[in-house]
Structure 1
Amino acid sequence: MKLVSNNDAQLFMNANPELDILCLSHLRWNFVYQRPQHLLSRAATRQRVFFFEEPVHHDGEAFLEMRNEKPNLVVAVPHLPHGLSEAQQIEMQEMLLDELISTFRIKNYLAWYYTPMALKFTKRLDPDLVVYDCMDQLSHFKFASPELPRLEQALFSKADLVFTGGYSLYEAKRDMHPNVYAFPSSVDVAHFAKARNDSQVPNDMKNIKGPKIGYMGVIDERIDLELIEGIARMRPEWNIIMLGPIVKIDPASLPQLPNIHYLGGKGYDELPHYLATWDIGMLPFARNDATRYISPTKTPEYLAAGLQVISTSIRDVCKPYGEMKLAAIADAVETFVFHAQRMLEDGPTVEWQAKVEAFLAKVSWDKTFDAMHELIALEDSKNKEEELNDTSPAAISFSKDLRMSPKVNVNNGVAAMPS
């Protein structure tokens, strides 16, 4: 990673015929490595990607931090002075976004939204295509802006394509736009499979003895803290490992017991080392509005690491993982302990391992992005055809053919075609 200068920007120019991607994100690139990073890192092997984050507030003047995270991928972070009104913040973000576009001479591009809130400062954009990758029901999250539902409706009106982060989210959104496609969470199998033969024990795991049941991910309002405490109290000889940053909740509200270990956030490259020391991977999500539509990426990641999995009854985990017997489902402490005890005693069965391998052979972030890229290319071609022919019979025929085209197989399922 390095900061980008104007000279660097010129070196960053290329003659790639692919559309540039201008991503508007509510998530920070260097926070938790998840869906946006997986997809856009793959996009950067084909085209230029610009990842525009939410602003950082400080005591100085407004400026745009631009850093080259990897070849063909620039992260841009607006720095705004404290004390600005909302209108002033929007105006400055518009100005800094213009600076990014001017610096890198971004002309033909795809606007890729992760948050509808970005519409407030992107009204002047004129992209060739608009994609809304709806990875969560953001309006249900803690501290969500009351404007989100209205802005999401506006984004649906603006978007050419809508992707959803899971099947339950697809079902909630499919009637809101003619081109909605389901792309559930996937996995980099090779990365997490390193845990199966990893002997490198992280320093903060070396003194934790006995069975280990771990969770990796953000620790926030979506976590069932009562479940975690109940398991820890019922089985004091088991260790509960909580790996991830604590956000939006008071750390003092977390259960504090000798066998619950909060190890903080870790880098993506470190995760296999931790998973290699665990016996079971868990998804201890509460059942509330914030978790109603989630499709946890960590489910296939645990499986790729060779871990048996126990999850609460999150819909996109129950189907397909629960139905395929790849993961056990438990909402109550007693049920969780029952499944964990059995897993610890029996270990992974040959039959379960065969099912896991068969499932993982069909999923990958590479396949997910390839399917997305195909849909984007089709939509771009359709738009260009319509521009050439206006409402000619050829344009109408092309549009009809697109909607009748075969479904795109992806991630052990189907990228949902327009209803």
Structure 2
Amino acid sequence: MTDALPGSVAPALPLVQSARRPLLLCLSHLRWNFVFQRPQHLLTRAARDHDVIVFEEPIFRPGQVPKLDLHRVPEGVTVAVPLLPEGVQGPAIAAALRGLLDGLLAPEAGRELIAWFYTPMALEFAAHLRPDLTVYDCMDELSAFRGAPPRMLELERLLLSRADLVFTGGRSLYEAKRSRHPRVHCFPSSIDAQHFAAARAGGPDPADQAALPRPRIGFFGVVDERMDLDLVAALAAARPDWAFAMIGPVVKIDPESLPRLPNIHWLGGKSYAELPRYLGNWDAGFMPFARNESTRFISPTKTPEFLAAGLPVVSTPITDVVRDWGPKEEGGVGVVEIADDPAAVAAALEAVLARPRGPWLKQVDRRLAQLSWDKTWAEMKGLIAARRMVTRAPAGEAVAAARIA
């Protein structure tokens, strides 16, 4: 492998709270400040009793001397952003990232280290690490996403061979991974119900949607190859009297490909804190997911978030949405309507707009009471602690410890 680029030295960790706290190193393909989702929910809770570092993908700049931009975010997590010179490629990138990572961890030698992977691609520069515990939190089937690197599946096989625990972001992913590792645990999308329940009180309408007529049908989330743009266009054309509020950053697709009908309003990305105000002034939500390889295994976090906000929602027939939230005859709990073409989506939205909310909300709240990100993290933390008992146990005690784990 090519030597690391000159200057690839990282400063000591900032604001380490205690050498006795475990160090949790998260290797992520998602930026902390992109969209507040599963990694942010879990790692914010992990930071209560771990020193958490999120090592992001690099940013390339002309003439940049390789270094880490280290900053502490309000949630108590340290974010490490590698800055590399524009034009560096292939093995030189991996070498530079490895050098930066080693410099970051060197002052913490001897501390308990948990390596928490969201992407197998991080093994290109982190395969040499020997953490006390390795966790693979598989929140998506990344190999099916547009632009996935050719080595993704090969590196995932390597990661699965090294991981002590594998968590999956939904039932479909669990079913796809459970035969590939002895300790795979299903943790579907959860909810910070209190945050989104603020939407039920309504509140001031955000300025950029205040002029939109009613009824308002809303979507929030990343706008990419997982959205069925033809469905959105056909639905808006069929119901010109409805306003469609579309919130979220556009990535991996050409913004010019977005349908531009007069009643479709692309409002851009919003912060997690802002979302309840937007949802609180919508009449219904919809999840117009395409049916393709990139959506085959998804378990959208926005499903319980729509419900916690008190908004009825219609989704295309994504497997985990149908089984977890859809009609009871399909195994769901009967709180999300499922439809698979523009006419059926329009009919389902008309039905939920006309439906009394009270009885439906009681069903929703009974289901949501069983979920929380606090509960999810507590269960994950328990599995981690049990597995650490096994990895720490002397040979004579390992069998008994394994029974616990």
TM over 0.5: yes
Residue 364 of structure 1 is aligned with which of 369, 372, 375? Answer: 372
Distance 2:200 2:108 in 1: 43
Distance 2:317 2:384 in 1: 34
The C-alpha deviation readout for 1:150-200, integer Å capped at 9, x for no partner, is 000000001000000000000000000000000000010000000011312
SS at match of 1:203: coil
Q: What pairs with 1:98-109 in structure 2 (closer than 5 Å)?
A: 98-103=102-107, 107-109=111-113
The C-alpha deviation readout for 1:9-39, integer Å capped at 9, x for no partner, is 2x4241444x210000000000001000000
Is residue 295 from structure 1 mapped to residue 299 from structure 2 by the alignment?
A: yes
Is the Cα–Cα contact under 8 Å of residues 140 and 289 in structure 1 kept in the other structure? yes
Is the Cα–Cα contact under 8 Å of residues 47 and 72 in structure 1 kept in the other structure? no
Q: What pairs with 1:11-410 in structure 2 (closer than 5 Å)?
A: 11-17=15-21, 19-59=22-62, 60-70=64-74, 72-103=76-107, 107-322=111-326, 323-348=332-357, 350-385=358-393, 388=394, 390=395, 392=396, 394-402=397-405
- The letter for the 2-side match of 1:351 is P
Is the Cα–Cα contact under 8 Å of residues 20 and 106 in structure 1 kept in the other structure? no
Is the Cα–Cα contact under 8 Å of residues 16 and 47 in structure 1 kept in the other structure? no
Deviation at 1:104, TM superposition (A): 5.2
Distance 2:276 2:229 in 1: 25
Distance 1:307 1:205 in 2: 17
Is the Cα–Cα contact under 8 Å of residues 242 and 260 in structure 1 kept in the other structure? yes
User: Do the aligned partners of residues 117 and 237 (structure 1) sit closer, same or farther apart at CA in structure 2, a change above 3 Å counting?
Assistant: same
Distance 2:167 2:191 in 1: 17
User: Do the aligned partners of residues 72 and 275 (structure 1) sit closer, same or farther apart at CA in structure 2, a change above 3 Å counting?
Assistant: closer
Deviation at 1:269, TM superposition (A): 0.2
Distance 1:28 1:167 in 2: 25
User: Do the aligned partners of residues 57 and 363 (structure 1) sit closer, same or farther apart at CA in structure 2, a change above 3 Å counting?
Assistant: same
TM-score normalized by the length of structure 1 = 0.90
Distance 2:71 2:276 in 1: 27
Distance 1:312 1:160 in 2: 35
User: Do the aligned partners of residues 109 and 227 (structure 1) sit closer, same or farther apart at CA in structure 2, a change above 3 Å counting?
Assistant: same
SS at match of 1:70: coil
TM-score normalized by the length of structure 2 = 0.94
Distance 2:313 2:283 in 1: 9
Deviation at 1:124, TM superposition (A): 2.1
Distance 2:53 2:157 in 1: 25
Q: How many residues align?
A: 390
SS at match of 1:269: coil
Distance 2:403 2:130 in 1: 26
Deviation at 1:351, TM superposition (A): 2.2
User: Do the aligned partners of residues 398 and 194 (structure 1) sit closer, same or farther apart at CA in structure 2, a change above 3 Å counting?
Assistant: same
Is the Cα–Cα contact under 8 Å of residues 21 and 111 in structure 1 kept in the other structure? yes
Over aligned residues, Cα RMSD in angstroms?
1.5
Is the Cα–Cα contact under 8 Å of residues 26 and 54 in structure 2 kept in the other structure? yes
Deviation at 1:223, TM superposition (A): 0.2
Deviation at 1:70, TM superposition (A): 3.0
Runs of 5+ unmatched residues, structure 1 = 403-419
Distance 1:184 1:227 in 2: 26
Distance 1:103 1:67 in 2: 17
Distance 1:115 1:311 in 2: 27
Distance 2:284 2:107 in 1: 48
Distance 1:332 1:53 in 2: 38
Is the Cα–Cα contact under 8 Å of residues 197 and 309 in structure 2 kept in the other structure? yes
Runs of 5+ unmatched residues, structure 2 = 1-9, 327-331
Distance 1:257 1:85 in 2: 41
Is the Cα–Cα contact under 8 Å of residues 219 and 247 in structure 1 kept in the other structure? yes
Distance 1:85 1:144 in 2: 17
Is the Cα–Cα contact under 8 Å of residues 164 and 183 in structure 1 kept in the other structure? yes
